[in-house]
Structure 1
């Protein structure tokens, strides 16, 4: 089931020419359009379906610095700063509230991971800190588990995925952007080896630059352009409750559950212990890119063969500009929820917080997450095609860092000084034959170089 998303009405006419075309109306795409338009750049955003209707409305709704990959932390900190201003900047409700995020620890192994994350956070002047059982009880009274400690980021927050991307898209339109829904981009035109325009199902738009922020669809678009983007999809699942009295205000995760309070007084609940990845033809094409990560995360990623294998075998990987593209045949991805994950999440949550025994589940949904081999996004120019930029592969972290990612992408497109160092997000790091730098390796090297923590 697809969660309800605030409707964004399309501009009625296709512009003949703009400076930049953004492909994709998720949180990364609309944020890019927003920050470009606010700087006087003419922008058209093309979305094949509806704004925010795929993973940008299907995530947990967390806006966090807590437990980030060190490469993402500066961007997460900038994003949190922007989230605090986003209601005022867009003139609309995004649902952002500063509530704090709490990661509960029941075992010494979980405490060790939390301490390592805390060491990293202190390198960036984060206000995250370790807390003990008494402080946990003060933050989340009513928990029924003997937690031995937790990692807490009081400045972290939450926003409403069903409201945020539409609000930012409307803010971009207020600043002059053209927002086009039900308008799939079939391909990119070039002249003298550089971007010169895009061909949509409704006609051609001339432009100097293109930003591909297509989420799980980015890999297919890149392939049609002769670009190799190692990206695979994993499925996450979320459910929501009716309004519930007495639940936590702070967002919380523990082993086998995650939650955040909604504006309507209900809660979003997720499993958080593992995600499912269906085996598809690209699983074999990118096997050696993803193998190091799969070996480390083999307990948290479940592999299976389903109907998507045949679907992707049958989907065209090349098509003509005058032909219906795969983007038009599937306007909105709406995978069937994995009910066993939802059952486990609710069971684990009720064991930890008995107040949820009386929670009424209203609906649940699945969403496909665009993942890279190192679980870090690509926010980058593409050397092979001047004028072409990527903003994709957010690996389940994209909603929270969406505003900062949009600002960084706008900086890169304009050739302006960047708000954070873009090097960790370079497309070149994913070249065939390169070895992905995983969080575990980066964490060990970073802490050793700073003299913090151990090499565990």
Structure 2
């Protein structure tokens, strides 16, 4: 299965009772479990497949503050601070390095976007540098860039998706958390309207709180609880090259490609400019909620038809706690990469950086990104279910936000003072978000 990520072996025994259950072994869930375990709480981190098996192990590896939605800036700033201390904190390498990120613009439309990014970054106190052609030549010697201007944050960074979430999971285990892989959560039990247990394929774990950090699976899980969570799936494709000398030392995003230096001496490359949105029956059901975003970003979006159209049609939307759930039938979302897009991205990269001409491609992979109508995540108490916090919908921004977002979710779940103001991440801001009058499936009151 692509791409390679560090293997985390799951614990053999299911704990009978914990204070907090974290559902989902991506960067958010692992960060939440780490913080909570460090506070002395009994924690169980449950993953239906493998740690970092989906988007947390398939993203570009950028750790940035610049270029975010305004709502995300405080969390992005806090997360970068946390990233900088993670390796020492857990005694493992996440691959994090402060190395600089650059956004380039080569058209009037891209320059207008860059102007907005610069103004927003300065409003939040970021040290950004505007580069002209000469500045670009200094930072990318030998390059043939179409960009005429660029914006750089020298102290933003990068980390390795293959290392980061697994390292956090092991750090959480060192702090006392139970880590279970290939252990799907089917649903919840409640008492007096509050979470009292989670129902897994291996048995029941009693708990006082739970965090749902299930990425692209969150809408399906919520739907079975009677919660209508606005979220769609977007397909991504990425490749990594063999090690090569003479390439860029900084991560760069242009109107056509994104490139990041890797710790192994190669590069992570992806296409920018057109986002493939999977055409599914669930997307059609949610079309009114996403209509404004689709219109606003119509130049950056293309609808794609693949087997997910059939998969989502036949996937059950309701199940009981004693039934095999969809999470057991599909342990890892592993879509095929879109080779045509990757070939175009690599062609543009090699034209821009002649040193990369002919570099072998070591791996290609696809991934599924969980997206909300406004592109901002949900980190909030679930409506109508006390003790359940939802942390999802990171819209391709979750890796860099991971440490802060996971900590914030755990703080909300435990009643601790929040790292940043959680108000911008409330579920109620999204159109149509609600809790049905009667929950379905494995939400058992008084169990």
The TM-score by the shorter chain falls in which range? Answer: over 0.9
Match of 2:102 in 1: 102
Q: CA deviation at 1:418?
A: 1.1
Match of 1:155 in 2: 155
Q: Please tell me whether the aligned partners of residues 10 and 180 of structure 2 are also in contact (alpha carbons under 8 angstroms).
A: yes
Q: Please tell me whether the aligned partners of residues 92 and 167 of structure 1 are also in contact (alpha carbons under 8 angstroms).
A: yes
Q: Distance in 2 between matches of 1:43 and 1:181?
A: 14
Q: Distance in 2 between matches of 1:182 and 1:299?
A: 40
Q: Structure 1, residues 278-310: CA drift from partner, whole Å, max 9, x if none?
A: 211211221111000001111211113322122
Q: Distance in 2 between matches of 1:344 and 1:13?
A: 47
Q: Distance in 2 between matches of 1:367 and 1:147?
A: 28
Give matches, 1:202-351, under 5 Å: 202-351=202-351
CA 1:27–1:259: 2 relative to 1, 3 Å: same
Bigger shift: residues 185-194 or 52-61: 185-194
Bigger shift: residues 190-199 or 143-152: 143-152
Q: Please tell me whether the aligned partners of residues 230 and 372 of structure 2 are also in contact (alpha carbons under 8 angstroms).
A: yes
Scaled by the length of structure 1, the TM-score of the pair is 0.93
Match of 1:363 in 2: 363
Give matches, 1:125-204, under 5 Å: 125-145=125-145, 147-204=147-204
Q: Structure 1, residues 380-413: CA drift from partner, whole Å, max 9, x if none?
A: 1123111111000000000011001011112211
Q: CA deviation at 1:115?
A: 1.4
- Stretches of structure 1 that go unaligned for 5 or more consecutive residues are 435-456
Q: CA deviation at 1:312?
A: 1.2
- Stretches of structure 2 that go unaligned for 5 or more consecutive residues are 435-447
Q: Please tell me whether the aligned partners of residues 34 and 169 of structure 1 are also in contact (alpha carbons under 8 angstroms).
A: yes
Q: Distance in 1 between matches of 2:45 and 2:244?
A: 38
Match of 1:444 in 2: none
Scaled by the length of structure 2, the TM-score of the pair is 0.95
Report the secondary structure of 1:169's partner residue: helix
Q: Please tell me whether the aligned partners of residues 115 and 130 of structure 1 are also in contact (alpha carbons under 8 angstroms).
A: no
Q: CA deviation at 1:431?
A: 4.4
Match of 2:47 in 1: 47
Q: Distance in 1 between matches of 2:39 and 2:335?
A: 37
Report the secondary structure of 2:70's partner residue: coil
Q: Please tell me whether the aligned partners of residues 56 and 399 of structure 1 are also in contact (alpha carbons under 8 angstroms).
A: yes
Match of 1:88 in 2: 88
Q: Distance in 1 between matches of 2:309 and 2:115?
A: 40
Match of 2:429 in 1: 429
The list of structure 1 runs, each at least 4 consecutive aligned residues, that deviate by more than 2 angstroms after superposition, is none
Q: Please tell me whether the aligned partners of residues 378 and 392 of structure 1 are also in contact (alpha carbons under 8 angstroms).
A: yes
Aligned residues: 434
Report the secondary structure of 1:374's partner residue: coil
Q: Structure 1, residues 66-102: CA drift from partner, whole Å, max 9, x if none?
A: 2111110111111111111111111101000111001
Q: Distance in 2 between matches of 1:433 and 1:186?
A: 22
Match of 2:386 in 1: 386
Q: Distance in 1 between matches of 2:304 and 2:311?
A: 15
Report the secondary structure of 2:31's partner residue: helix
Q: Please tell me whether the aligned partners of residues 256 and 345 of structure 2 are also in contact (alpha carbons under 8 angstroms).
A: yes
